[in-house]
Structure 1
Amino acid sequence: MIGDLNIQETHDSIDGVPAPSANAHLAGHEDVRAFLARTYGSGKMHHALLFEGPRGVGKATLAFHLAGHMLQYPDSSTPPAEIAAPDFAKPLFRQIAGGIHPAILHIDRPLDQKTGKFKTGIPVEEIRRVSHFLARTSHDGAWRIVIIDPADDMNRNAANALLKTLEEPPARALFILISHSAGRLLPTIRSRCQTLQFKPLEAAAMQKALAAIGPGIGFDMAGGEALIERSEGSVRKAALLIAHGGLEIAQTTDAILEKKRFDLPKAQALATAIGGREAEIQYDLFLDHVLERIADRARLHAEEGAILPANAWSAFWERLRRDIIETQAFNLDKKQAVLIFIEKAHRAFQNGVPE
């Protein structure tokens, strides 16, 4: 049991869902797990791994599972053939879960002490901790593992600082970079990593994952099919949908988009519900769903070979995404933004093609 440990909150923590460092459950990705176990057992582990794929599919969880595996079996000629789930009855895994194991450095967005909120990126000061960590602890010859989650959040200075370390890695050091959008990484960082691709989870893996986390967030698997369909193979997205009313937001949004006449009262009620200061996650879920609906329409036309409408919907997606970024950058009123975005989307769906 790890309930008595103080698990540090991160920028993407979800109440009731175990942090990756404290999560014994990992569904799917059997091919990646087998590759990592085989590679470590052969003594040919690359010094830098890039775990690339959609957000919320288990990349960070596997990173901590691998770290625990390597620390439990430091001699790569003796480990078992599979990466086993962590046993939190053992001190090693309890230390990893609590973020206090001296051989693991986990870097993510730091907390801004002035505002009490997490920073929007990983600054260079965080990456400078890597050099100190490796220099301070390398004398005993044990593995030292750096997990950067997500590496996409590094600013330019931070990325350049990491690059210098990756160019001359110390012995028995492993870097695991988690990436949801690897296109944001410097090409020179990508070129120094071995990339492992993670895919969205299949329905069976999603069911297994939801069965594990469901009790912590009050989810009954009886409603799992609709949830899995909307989660796009992401356990994180499923958890957010459960914990923050995402299914209801999606259903209300769809009802507005599909009605012939724009239902202003329902749109205003939705904007009031998700446009407040305490509803940032609900607001993001709404935006994700609207963009997803538009992207689905573009894909459908592309699959049918209708290039012009496919391009029109793709361009509409880009315009709306740009509007969303500007709304966030200038801290504009979210309630008004919800009304504007959903009215634009409604008009496009009812006309059959964006303006």
Structure 2
Amino acid sequence: MIEPPSHLGLLPWQEETWQTLSHWHDKLPHALLLHGPAGIGKTQLAHVFAQSLLCSAPTSTGLPCGACQSCHWFAQGNHPDCRVIRPDSLEAEAGESDAESNNQEKTDKNKTPSREIRIEQIRQLADFLAIGTHRGGRRIVFLYPAQSLNTYAANALLKMLEEPTAHTIFILVTDQLDRLLPTLLSRCRKVAIAPPRGIAAQERAQQWLVRHGYDHTQSHIALTEAGGMPLQALSLLQNRTETASSAQGGASFNTDAWVRELARLLLEPNADAVLKLANYGHKESLPLLLQTTQRWAHDLSRLAIGLPAQFYPHIAKQINRPAQKLALQAVTTWAQALRERQRIVNHPLNPRLFVEELLLEYRQKVGRL
């Protein structure tokens, strides 16, 4: 099934990147790898590009027309010449329920959807690639996020890329290029997707947030906290809205509250605080928790050398002066430890223990101010 983009156009800050991609329409390699930071719309850009490659009457700028039969199939999620490969967990989040997934749910209702792309998913491409295309044109395999490929699936995909089928285009998307096999990278043309840079692009991103119902001040602050990543900024705003409107709060993760606690822990380190903060260890929120912590580590490294914080300046200002006493090497070592934790964040044996260990490393490696 194909999850259609929210609209046929591009996100406001993607026009320049689109010009590059559209020039390749008639001279595409067999595999493209779109990579860049999380939260800038790479997956939606890839959706639009995949649709444009199958469109019968693209516009003068290469965008899909949205009116031909091919575009209708794509919008409905059943184009015969396109296959989307992604983790089962993303399928579940999208609310998709094709016959195969329904059968799987019936046989194992309690099984947590996998966060990995499995080898079975890659093997299922064999029949799709073996038959001719519906209209004698291109065939698209759209895979994301590529870092979710487990080792077996990555090797199976590599074999397909080494012996490409005629008229088949693989489009991969990732925000963690370093987690992909070097041999897989060598088989793809890499396309770096940058966040909106420059005043004009940032203003377009801010206006995009405003169109989602947030005021200019909220949008500006969230965009700053998210390091200029618009989709991350939207996620922050939505998270705050949900947290504020929730009667019980549940297991929702509040990024601001977490960063404030990390700042307080630098000023007043104690074991009781670590145990209290370990309550943030809900499995569903661990990826966001780790990402937020990595951004805080980035801010601390900037503060240590006298630069302003990038992601959480409104919180970092509380420790600006004492933070200059931080040892840059200590913060860098901690940041490296956080990157290593990225490998297990989606399947920790014990979420609470994961958070406790993260916080103990924070105290031991970074220390106190």
TM superposition score normalised by structure 2: 0.72
Which of 163, 172, 181 is the matching residue for 1:168?
A: 163
What corresponds to 2:48 in structure 1? 65
What corresponds to 2:257 in structure 1? 252
Does the residue aligned with 2:333 lie in a helix, a strand or coil?
helix
* Alpha-carbon contact 2:330-2:365 (below 8 Å) kept: no
Alpha-carbon displacement from aligned partner over 1:13-47 (angstroms, at most 9, x marks no partner): xxxxxx6476644232333211111121xx21111
C-alpha displacement of 1:64: 1.5
* Alpha-carbon contact 1:267-1:342 (below 8 Å) kept: yes
Distance of 1:80 and 1:271 partners within structure 2: 53
C-alpha displacement of 1:128: 1.3
Which of 187, 190, 193 is the matching residue for 1:192?
A: 187
Q: Which amino acid aligns with 1:108?
A: R
Query: Is 1:310 the equivalent of 2:328?
Result: yes
Distance of 1:156 and 1:325 partners within structure 2: 13
Alpha-carbon displacement from aligned partner over 1:239-287 (angstroms, at most 9, x marks no partner): 3212223999333334334444359998877655x4456xx23x44333
Identify unmatched segments of 5+ residues in structure 2. 90-103, 244-252, 308-323
* Alpha-carbon contact 2:2-2:74 (below 8 Å) kept: no
What corresponds to 2:116 in structure 1? 121
Give the direction of change, closer, same or farther, for the CA distance of 1:309–1:46 in structure 2 (3 Å limit): same
What corresponds to 2:125 in structure 1? 130
Give the direction of change, closer, same or farther, for the CA distance of 1:205–1:93 in structure 2 (3 Å limit): farther
* Alpha-carbon contact 1:22-1:98 (below 8 Å) kept: no
Does the residue aligned with 1:145 lie in a helix, a strand or coil?
strand
Give the direction of change, closer, same or farther, for the CA distance of 1:223–1:31 in structure 2 (3 Å limit): same
C-alpha displacement of 1:54: 1.2
What corresponds to 1:37 in structure 2? 22
Q: Which amino acid aligns with 1:297?
A: L
Alpha-carbon displacement from aligned partner over 1:130-179 (angstroms, at most 9, x marks no partner): 22112123374211011001111111221121112112212221110111
Does the residue aligned with 1:45 lie in a helix, a strand or coil?
coil
Does the residue aligned with 1:39 lie in a helix, a strand or coil?
coil
Distance of 1:206 and 1:342 partners within structure 2: 34
How many aligned positions are there? 322
What corresponds to 1:351 in structure 2? 368
- Aligned counterparts, 1:1-355, within 5 A: 20=5, 24-40=9-25, 43-73=26-56, 80-84=59-63, 87=66, 91-110=69-88, 113=105, 114=108, 115=110, 117-138=112-133, 140-202=135-197, 205=201, 208-209=204-205, 211-212=207-208, 219-245=214-240, 249-259=254-264, 260-261=267-268, 272=279, 274-276=280-282, 280-281=284-285, 283-301=286-304, 309-320=327-338, 331-332=349-350, 334=352, 338=355, 341-342=358-359, 345=362, 351-352=368-369
* Alpha-carbon contact 1:103-1:137 (below 8 Å) kept: no
Distance of 2:151 and 2:38 partners within structure 1: 22
Alpha-carbon displacement from aligned partner over 1:195-231 (angstroms, at most 9, x marks no partner): 1001123375465456557666x64444111100111
Distance of 1:327 and 1:190 partners within structure 2: 23
Identical columns (%): 28
Q: Which amino acid aligns with 1:33?
A: W
What corresponds to 1:14 in structure 2? none
Distance of 1:187 and 1:323 partners within structure 2: 21
Does the residue aligned with 1:50 lie in a helix, a strand or coil?
strand
Give the direction of change, closer, same or farther, for the CA distance of 1:138–1:201 in structure 2 (3 Å limit): same
TM superposition score normalised by structure 1: 0.74
Give the direction of change, closer, same or farther, for the CA distance of 1:83–1:303 in structure 2 (3 Å limit): farther
Give the direction of change, closer, same or farther, for the CA distance of 1:220–1:71 in structure 2 (3 Å limit): same
Q: Which amino acid aligns with 1:62?
A: L
Does the residue aligned with 2:133 lie in a helix, a strand or coil?
helix
Give the direction of change, closer, same or farther, for the CA distance of 1:97–1:333 in structure 2 (3 Å limit): same
Give the direction of change, closer, same or farther, for the CA distance of 1:194–1:245 in structure 2 (3 Å limit): same
* Alpha-carbon contact 2:31-2:187 (below 8 Å) kept: yes
Does the residue aligned with 1:118 lie in a helix, a strand or coil?
coil
